[in-house]
Amino acid sequence: MNIDSNAPIGHLFLWGLNVKAKHLAHIESLPDLKALVQSDEYASTPHRYVLGGGANTLFTTSYFDGMVMVVDTKGIELQKEDEKYSYWKIMAGEDWISLVEHMVCQNNLGGLENLAYIPGKVGSAPIQNIAAYGQSFENVCESVEVLELDTLQSFNLQCAECGFDYRSSIFKQRHMIKDRNFVIWSVTLKLAKPEFHKVETGYFSNYESLRSELAVKGVVKPTIQDIYNGVVSLRKNKLPDWTRVGTNGSLFMNPMVPGNKLRNLLTQFPRLQYYPTEKMQYVDASKLDIHDEKLYKIAAGHVFDELGWKGKRVGQVGTWKNHALVLCNYGTKNPTDILQVIRLMQDDFESATGIRLEPEINMIPS
């Protein structure tokens, strides 16, 4: 394991920027991690950032005065089986997209198909409880193995102990209080055997519907592979190709508002889509009653559409042509340019709605 100093890291996160870090190390094994935490560089560098595939990270300055620790550990292992499920231990550095393809298409195991084609590594999936098309990481999570960096002791958290919520978890909360003293080392997933597949097509949004995508393809009784193919095709049509255009996907979390606030917003934005928050799933808003005391998740993307943000450019930064919540880099190498547009979007949204949006992406340093 090498520790590079004054190292370029622009290629390690998806925005296509010129950024360097004081120190950079790739961790491929436990001995690598041990050597790293015992190094002088580690001891003398209090700011540290654990990086997966960089699909949810923006370094906001051209020099990160800290240590970037890239998790590159590999391994997929069958742990045990019961009547309905098989349990797989996956190392944090495995690629999420390949894992889903492997489990759904090669092994015919259910649970990951709606989470197809989300860029990043396995170790990041629990951090924000990745979710798409009515499924979330927590639905397949059996446990998460965590390694404390100070002691190099590992422990397992069962799914119920991980505090999973909408784009959040106990791990993200610890990140938010800047306690970055742990690495997610592996996750154990619980995947359904063929007789126990449960297909989830309930996803409904103004923008897209998994059910209509399958109907167009003439699929009446979908298999998990049909769902997988439908999701991949929707995502390829809707989202930019991140290997060509710098992006982190959705920039902001959809905000939660009480029913009385929602009513006000609906007078301003009559086609605004809103969702219940008890189950983090999209449903047809026209079938939902609004109660003043309840919270609803609203589609920030729709408000940005109405504010003229879809496909809008500010210099070399702008939103994707099909999705106003997806910010893209069209040529700048300077993180400040991205940051300025993020602030502009936050300000615009706040002036229109009174709500300050929370970034979904990790902005480092925050």
Ligand X SMILES: Cc1cc2nc3c(=O)[nH]c(=O)nc-3n(C[C@H](O)[C@H](O)[C@H](O)COP(=O)(O)OP(=O)(O)OC[C@H]3O[C@@H](n4cnc5c(N)ncnc54)[C@H](O)[C@@H]3O)c2cc1C
Name the site residues for ligand X (rule: CB under 6 A).
Answer: 14, 49-57, 71, 92, 118-121, 123-125, 127-128, 130-132, 175, 183-184, 239, 242, 247-249, 362
| Distance separating the N- and C-terminal Cα atoms of the chain | 28
Please list, in sequence order, all residues whose beta carbon lies within 8 angstroms of the beta carbon of residue 128, skipping any fewer than 6 positions away: 56, 167, 168, 169, 172, 360
Name 26's bridge partners.
70
DSSP class per residue in 45-88: ---EEEESSSTTEEE-SSEEEEEEEEE----EEEEEE-SSEEEE
Answer for the pair 108, 128: CB distance below 8 angstroms, yes or no.
Answer: no
Please list, in sequence order, all residues whose beta carbon lies within 8 angstroms of the beta carbon of residue 176, skipping any fewer than 6 positions away: none
- Considering the complex, what minimum distance in angstroms separates the CB of residue 60 from ligand X? 13
- Considering the complex, what minimum distance in angstroms separates the CB of residue 72 from ligand X? 10
Nearer Cβ to ligand X, position 122 or 257? 122
148 vs 180: CA distance, rounded Å: 9
- Considering the complex, what minimum distance in angstroms separates the CB of residue 137 from ligand X? 8
- Considering the complex, what minimum distance in angstroms separates the CB of residue 285 from ligand X? 20
- Considering the complex, what minimum distance in angstroms separates the CB of residue 62 from ligand X? 18
360 has catalytic annotation: yes
DSSP class per residue in 190-230: EEE-GGG-------B-SS-BHHHHHHHTT-SS--HHHHHHH
Peptide bond into 365 cis (omega under 30): yes
Nearer Cβ to ligand X, position 51 or 265? 51
Nearer Cβ to ligand X, position 132 or 191? 132
- H-run or E-run covering 314: strand 313-314
Q: Out of 145, 167, 208, 209, pick the active-site residue.
A: 167
158 vs 111: CA distance, rounded Å: 18
180 has catalytic annotation: no
Nearer Cβ to ligand X, position 14 or 265? 14
Closest CA to 70 of 8, 145, 154: 8
Nearer Cβ to ligand X, position 115 or 285? 115
245: left (phi over 0), alpha (psi -120 to 50) or beta: beta
129 vs 234: CA distance, rounded Å: 21
167: left (phi over 0), alpha (psi -120 to 50) or beta: left
167 has catalytic annotation: yes
Q: Identity (one letter) of the amino acid at 219? A: V
Nearer Cβ to ligand X, position 100 or 132? 132
- Considering the complex, what minimum distance in angstroms separates the CB of residue 24 from ligand X? 13
- Considering the complex, what minimum distance in angstroms separates the CB of residue 260 from ligand X? 29
Distance from CA of residue 55 to its chain's centroid?
8
Nearer Cβ to ligand X, position 54 or 110? 54
The catalytic residues are: 167, 250, 360
